[in-house]
Structure 1
Amino acid sequence: MAHIQRAGTAVWTPWRAVFAFGLVSLTADMVYEGMRAVSGPFLGSLGASALTVGLVTGAGEAVALVLRLATGAWADHSRRHWRLTVVGYAMTAVCVPLLAIAPFVGAAGVALASVLILLERTGKAIRSPAKSALLARMATATGRGRGFGVHKALDQVGAFAGPLLMAGALAVTGAYWPGFAVLAIPGVLCLLLLLAQLRRRVPSIAEPDPEDTPVPAAGGGALRRVRAAVLGSDLPGTFHLFALSAALTTAGLMTFGVISYRFVDAGLVAIAAVPLVYALAMAVEALAALVTGDLFDRWGAGILLAVPALVSVVPVAVFADQLWLVLVGVAVWGLATGVQDSTVKAYVASLVGPSRRATAYGVFAAVQGLGALGGGALAGALVIGHAALLAACIGVLQVVAFGLLWATLRVGRPVS
């Protein structure tokens, strides 16, 4: 596709724009995944109790998900998708390196680090719905499944590199703060790519999307408009069915923390080898995003019906007594997670028109967050001593998720 000109600036081809946006996520992931890899021990080194660590990290994840209800609606209402994306990434690029100061402020170190961690997660909530809406617009010509898949794969490269960079700095210096300082480098690269190139060279979300039909604004009273703006009550019913299905799938897709706790407790994997097992899952997740994204564009959303089946397999395998079967289960977990974080978002863009996509992504993330909260509580209560019951509960959840997804696919009329 030939370049076109906008105000004297060459506009990138769709694939180049998607790849560049993937590099933005790669560099940002290096920053915040590098921080998240050591956030618990780092807070502990400052004198925080286990309760404080749990409250800070748990509150951070809750903020990153639930706040998207407001930031998604804000992006659609203000049409400032790029501004919110840049602000959100800037908060990550600034807050994480500033953690290097915390060890040097004495008793205030825990409070400073906690605030910076929560602000970084707030930045994630601010940018995510707007970023996903922008990516959906960029990927119109590439195929949304492929576009989201390539973006997710690049994102995962950053998820590898950031913790490795932090681990290297920690090994060389024996302290956390140099690692946080070094993470300023990918943070600066992220912002330079956003500000100096990407925003000026890709299609604006305000420009007409040739394959979409905008959703009419909600009418009625003030309360109805607020419900529509924040909770997405005016979004298609198929979107809400799909969100509920994804929430149940997420509830069954246990966190790696629960999985690793179980296989370490069972004596199958040494603590030092846990990062290697996690690396296996991340590699599978990146590959899954690429492959299923391509299949989504070729065969349609029907491939998503495989996700509840995959999730049902995970507890049966990861709770086994044979290491090889546990590793197979971890690989399946990575496969399902990769689809959940990429191809599923491509289908959301197919169900909701461009004028409401950021709202939809915000609602979708909040519903998934509730599913993750419930699933985490279920897994935490049953993983030790009641693994068979946990596997059965997850199986039931996935049967319901499959039924809801089947209903979505039967009645859904994608907007693109």
Structure 2
Amino acid sequence: MYLADRSAPAGAKTAADGGPVRAPAVASAVLALGSVSLITDISSEMVTAVLPLYLVAGLGLSPLGFGALDGLYNGVSALVQLTGGHLADRIRNHKLIAGIGYGLSALCKPLLLLAHSLGPVGVILALERTGKGLRTAPRDALISLSTPAELQGRAFGVHRAMDTTGALLGPLAAFFILSLTVDGYDAVFGVSACVAVLGVVVLVLFVPSGADLGAATVPSQGPASAKPGPVNLREAVGLLRLPRLRALAGCAALLGLTTVSDAFLYLLLQDRTGIGEQWFPLLPLGTAGVFLLLAVPAGALADRIGRRTVFLSGHALLLAGYGLLLWAPGLPALPYLVLALHGMFYAATDGVLPAAVAATVPAKLRATGIALVGTGQALARFGCSLALGAAWTVWGSGPALGAAAAGLCCCAAVAGFVLRPAAPEAEAHGQAGTDTDTNRDNGTRPAAAADADTETDPLRRPRGTR
């Protein structure tokens, strides 16, 4: 099951014959978490695949109403990410917080069977997204803590590929359930609840707690760093003083303001091409299939040539998808091209961003740092959903998407400038300033230097790669 690394890291153990012992390039914890995400995503995507049509065609929501609910669906998880990340770091049990998040999401699935109006559906979706927000940062922290810094792009790519396998199977399951049952939506929600419970069981049985994972990837700094002390709120807020983390968080939020949500993209694609309602649940399969094929190669490429290049290229691919929806003729291949570009965008960005964040923050604050960036990005996408829903209601789908495309072009240019590689003199000066600011209050060695292999520029090629 392991993807074996071709070279042993410095200081690796040796076998009995004197040769190096090949450590797995992807840790067992990553594979276990990938399995949990695969199962959970089957459950979640079964619901997500039918939800837009259920709300718009079944409950009669307007595009503005759907935009508000879709924004709530994504915005709630963003607000809770900070809480989940900080709690995981504070109690030093990432698995517990992630398990609570997975469990809460599983409990919400059967409640959809009882809700048939906008109010109850909105509350249930908010609770389900609360569970997602709680689990996201601790889960990604577990991945980064179990993986050497130079291989984190690949590790996140493997996890995202397994996660996307679930995203691929979920809509298929929803499609067949809707085809075979009379009361299709309730059947989808019921089966989804059963699958979600299975994901929680796998998490409890096979995922390590994460308390000792950092020891495998963080160089020892002596007795003082062997057992990091409890994390307090002041240390978490102090992460905002790291210039590199601020740059990542700002650019992720800026680009999120012009990133159309998946549900809206599929509705726009249906509106543009006239795809029948019976085929609508299959649209996420195009995105998921391409994401599945390219997630691992894109992560490995980011480790090799630089995360900045891959990250910005992903947004250029998304912009190309917007352009096809706006200006391409009504070709039969248009849906396939748009969905392929959408999947390539996710492959180039979804795992690369947390890998870059992990390179900028100390191990004991890993979940908090990932949550800070994820929260800003998700809140920005919440705003994008609201704005796009309002623009579609007032101006129509074409002008609304055109505004998003123009905004993405400008924001990508700004992000490319902000994340550009710094000059060597500026890098050295910024590193010294960061070290001073991070430890001004406690007089200790910089936490980032002691607890993590911190990159001078997290979106450049990681140290130790060839």
Checking the alignment, whether the CA contact within 8 Å between 1:277 and 1:327 is kept in structure 2 is: no
The equivalent residue for 1:288 is 294
Checking the alignment, whether the CA contact within 8 Å between 1:95 and 1:119 is kept in structure 2 is: yes
| TM norm structure 2 | 0.73
Alpha-carbon distance, 1:61 to partner:
1.8
The equivalent residue for 1:306 is 313
User: Aligned to 1:356, what secondary structure does the other structure show?
Assistant: helix
The equivalent residue for 1:7 is none
CA distance in 1, matches of 2:376, 2:422: 16
RMSD: 3.6
Alpha-carbon distance, 1:211 to partner:
4.8
**Within the alignment, does 1:37 sit opposite 2:54 as a pair?**
no
CA displacement 1:280-319 (0-9 Å, x = unmatched)? 2221122231111111222332433423433432322221
Structure with the higher fraction of residues in helix conformation: 1
Residue 27 of structure 2: which of 6, 10, 15 is its match?
15
The equivalent residue for 2:257 is 251
Match of 1:147, as an amino acid? A
| Number of residue pairs matched by the alignment | 395
The equivalent residue for 1:330 is 339
Residue pairs, 1:221-240, within 5 angstroms: 226=233, 229=236, 232-234=239-241, 236-240=242-246
The equivalent residue for 1:166 is 174
CA distance in 2, matches of 1:377, 1:46: 21
CA distance in 1, matches of 2:381, 2:320: 18
| TM norm structure 1 | 0.81
CA distance in 2, matches of 1:409, 1:137: 30
**Within the alignment, does 1:61 sit opposite 2:74 as a pair?**
yes
Unaligned runs of 5+ in 1: 4-11, 104-108, 220-224
Structure 1 residues 330 and 203, CA, compared in 2 at 3 Å: closer, same or farther?
A: same
The equivalent residue for 1:222 is none
Checking the alignment, whether the CA contact within 8 Å between 1:248 and 1:397 is kept in structure 2 is: yes
**Within the alignment, does 1:320 sit opposite 2:305 as a pair?**
no
Alpha-carbon distance, 1:398 to partner:
1.3
Structure 1 residues 42 and 301, CA, compared in 2 at 3 Å: closer, same or farther?
A: closer
Alpha-carbon distance, 1:119 to partner:
1.7
Alpha-carbon distance, 1:251 to partner:
2.8
CA distance in 1, matches of 2:268, 2:112: 32
Residue pairs, 1:83-98, within 5 angstroms: 83-98=96-111
Identity of aligned residues (%): 28
Checking the alignment, whether the CA contact within 8 Å between 2:258 and 2:404 is kept in structure 1 is: no
Structure 1 residues 372 and 58, CA, compared in 2 at 3 Å: closer, same or farther?
A: closer
Match of 1:366, as an amino acid? T
CA displacement 1:141-200 (0-9 Å, x = unmatched)? 881111100110111111122232233223322223333222233223212221122227
Checking the alignment, whether the CA contact within 8 Å between 2:150 and 2:303 is kept in structure 1 is: no
Unaligned runs of 5+ in 2: 5-11, 14-22, 428-454
User: Aligned to 2:148, what secondary structure does the other structure show?
Assistant: coil
Checking the alignment, whether the CA contact within 8 Å between 2:319 and 2:409 is kept in structure 1 is: yes
Residue pairs, 1:395-406, within 5 angstroms: 395-406=409-420
Checking the alignment, whether the CA contact within 8 Å between 2:157 and 2:296 is kept in structure 1 is: yes
Checking the alignment, whether the CA contact within 8 Å between 1:314 and 1:332 is kept in structure 2 is: yes
User: Aligned to 2:90, what secondary structure does the other structure show?
Assistant: helix
Bigger mean CA offset, 253-262 vs 159-168: 253-262
CA distance in 2, matches of 1:268, 1:317: 15
Alpha-carbon distance, 1:43 to partner:
6.0
Structure 1 residues 169 and 203, CA, compared in 2 at 3 Å: closer, same or farther?
A: same
Structure 1 residues 79 and 16, CA, compared in 2 at 3 Å: closer, same or farther?
A: closer
Checking the alignment, whether the CA contact within 8 Å between 1:263 and 1:319 is kept in structure 2 is: no
Checking the alignment, whether the CA contact within 8 Å between 2:142 and 2:213 is kept in structure 1 is: yes
Residue 188 of structure 1: which of 157, 180, 197 is its match?
197
